[in-house]
Structure 1
Amino acid sequence: MQLVRQNEKSATKRHRPFCLVLAALLIGAAASGCAGGADEGAGRGHEQVAGQPGAEAAQAGPAAAEAKAKAKAEQLKRQLAARVAVAKKWGLAKVPLAAPAPPAKKPHITTREGFEVEGGEKLPPVFTTVPTKERVVFLTMDDGAEKDPELLRMMSELNIPYSAFLSDYEVSDDYGYFKDMQARGVTLNNHTLNHRYLPGLSEEDQRREICGSQDKIEKFLGKRPTLFRPPYGNYNGATLRIAESCGIKAVPLWAAEAFPDHMEWREWDQDLHPGDIILTHFRGREDWDGSMADMIRNVMKTVTAKGYAVARLEDYV
């Protein structure tokens, strides 16, 4: 038995080279066949893609983009129709122009020539126009005597921005009206406590008027202003120094004034310019031949006809 097993081992050794060669040939043939099959399969796969979901998705790309563009155009059309309807509701013949996006960096503002005070280069700038090339103007309202709820609805529905400069003696009987205004996105700014002629006051009295208004607005309306407009546009060096001492950063005056039936202009050409600030007041039929809504209709008719949009002052200052 032992001899037989040795002979079997010898025979196995003799046949091993032949088996290895045969195995190598078989493996090579199998690999060649698999490669061919893979190539054929790949070819068949490409043939299937050409007429099946992948190709349809590729062909659907332009169609999807076109459908998206149509949907966007339809959305814009609906938005324009809504704006036209709102303008018509409020008696505007033309839809107010939309303001461009606010600047990424606010422009550098300096005091207007002729409005300087001694040592004023380090004080809050006094200006009537914001330096910008955009065809935008800024609407501001002073005092606070007329508290017309129609104004709040009109400005919100038309999406017209404006800034308020408040005198406490006019607004203290109804802070709630101005809190509602503030909740609608309007910034509430300083116009002194009692609307007095500041250059005629002592520095102590000026401080009471200016800084006292800062305190009142912060206490009752929640935020300390950074913009200040002196009553009648009159001020002196003490006015600006005191204003800066209690948090004022800039003193915007105005280039034009709006009324229900006309406009008044500061500039010689009697026209609007990019960045002009428009002044109006919280007034009603007791003071004007018209309501605040009438005033807005007049100012927007003028602004839109001249190709301007109303932008938010605080986005630029």
Structure 2
Amino acid sequence: MKCRRTACAVLAALLMGAAASGCADGEGQGAGGPGKPAAGQQGAAVAQAPAAKAERLKRERAARVAAAKKWGLAKVPLVAPAPPAVKPRITTREGFEVEGGETLPPVFTTVPTKERVVFLTMDDGAEKDPELLRMMTELKIPYSAFLSDYVVSDDYGYFKDMQARGVTLNNHTINHRYLPGLSKAEQRREICGEQDKIEKYFGKRPTLFRPPYGNYNGDTLRVAASCGIKAVPLWAAEAFPDHMEWREQDRDLHPGDIILTHFRGDEDWEGSMTDMIRQVMKTVTDKGYSVARLEDYV
């Protein structure tokens, strides 16, 4: 009997130790099981999420206000909505068609959207203002570049820096010639040649193309399609350092409008590229629009 009682005592001690160990593990893991917080901890985390988001938005707003003040903008730029989950279907604008163009890249001046967004695009590449890169990065204003190699080739590094900041580099031909006056073979050298140049120096073949002066014919679109172009965005308005020019008779912005400007400076304009940005952003913001990224919609 004495032996049995000893065995029972040992067994009881082992069971109590196991129970204590289990409780210690449970305290470390929480009532939710291994690796999960207790119900109270989960509730606290959920409660903190909106507060953390509000604090993040507050910091982002403060940064935008500071950047707008630094760069002399009249108002803080509005924030663009999230890009669409599915890009809109784009067709050629009425009056811009070419014969047999149903299967060719669409030519358009406005992206179909109900959002109050516009798109900023810059052509050629003659002016290489480092202040522009800093300004657009700090203000977080998206834009798209349409490059011509004859003015880009003296400083590919400037545009590689631009690309590294998230700007898409698109096709504006090699020499910026009037395309309808060229043969199909000459147009191919201008358009597909620029495709090759951009791929060689920047690592990615463009899918967007803008013909110089906005002029094109059927050969232009067929050649462009043959070397990878998917769409031909033109423009609804043009920005300068001291004014805007409009395509539409109402002289106003509309949802999805594409704005054209150029890489120009004091030698060509009465102002710099940063002056031009201040002008165009005043117009855009005053009219209640934000600037979105063209490639998110096209």
TM superposition score normalised by structure 1: 0.79
Q: 2:70 aligns with which of 70, 89, 109?
A: 89
Which residue matches 1:227? 208
Structure 2 counterpart of 1:96, one-letter code: P
CA RMSD of aligned residues (A): 1.7
Cα distance in 1 between the residues matched to 2:44 and 2:220:
65
Q: Matches of residues 104-183 of structure 1 in structure 2 within 5 Å?
A: 104-183=85-164
TM superposition score normalised by structure 2: 0.84
Displacement of 1:61 = 7.9
Which residue matches 1:244? 225
Displacement of 1:207 = 0.8
Structure 1 counterpart of 2:241, one-letter code: P
SS of the aligned residue for 1:189 comes to: strand
Q: Which runs of 5+ in 1 are unaligned?
A: 1-53
Cα distance in 1 between the residues matched to 2:240 and 2:146:
17
SS of the aligned residue for 2:102 comes to: helix
SS of the aligned residue for 1:121 comes to: coil
Query: Which of the pair has more CA radius of gyration?
Result: 1
Structure 1 counterpart of 2:255, one-letter code: P
Which residue matches 1:19? none
Q: Matches of residues 168-207 of structure 1 in structure 2 within 5 Å?
A: 168-207=149-188
Displacement of 1:66 = 5.1
Preserved CA contact (<8 Å) 2:171 2:191? yes
Q: Matches of residues 299-310 of structure 1 in structure 2 within 5 Å?
A: 299-310=280-291
Displacement of 1:69 = 3.4
SS of the aligned residue for 2:118 comes to: strand
Cα distance in 1 between the residues matched to 2:49 and 2:104:
53
Structure 2 counterpart of 1:203, one-letter code: K
Q: What are the Cα deviations for residues 76-121 of structure 1, in whole angstroms up to 9, with x where unaligned?
A: 2222112101110011121111111111111110000000000011
Displacement of 1:234 = 0.2
Cα distance in 2 between the residues matched to 1:124 and 1:253:
12
SS of the aligned residue for 1:120 comes to: coil
Q: Relative to structure 1, is the Cα distance of residues 316 and 69 closer, same or farther in structure 2, using a 3 angstrom cutoff?
A: closer
Q: What are the Cα deviations for residues 146-172 of structure 1, in whole angstroms up to 9, with x where unaligned?
A: 000000010011111100000000100
Q: 1:253 aligns with which of 234, 249, 256?
A: 234
2:249 is equivalent to residue 280 of structure 1: no
Which residue matches 1:99? 80
Q: Quick one: percent identity of the two aligned structures?
A: 85
Displacement of 1:62 = 7.2
Cα distance in 2 between the residues matched to 1:237 and 1:260:
34
Which residue matches 2:58? 77
Structure 2 counterpart of 1:213, one-letter code: E
Q: What are the Cα deviations for residues 53-88 of structure 1, in whole angstroms up to 9, with x where unaligned?
A: x9xx87888776555434432332222112101110
Preserved CA contact (<8 Å) 2:74 2:278? no
Which residue matches 1:14? none
Q: Which runs of 5+ in 2 are unaligned?
A: 1-30, 32-37
Which residue matches 2:195? 214
SS of the aligned residue for 2:145 comes to: strand
Q: What are the Cα deviations for residues 240-294 of structure 1, in whole angstroms up to 9, with x where unaligned?
A: 0011011110000000000001000000100000000000000000000100000
Cα distance in 1 between the residues matched to 2:232 and 2:132:
25
Higher helix content, 1 or 2: 1
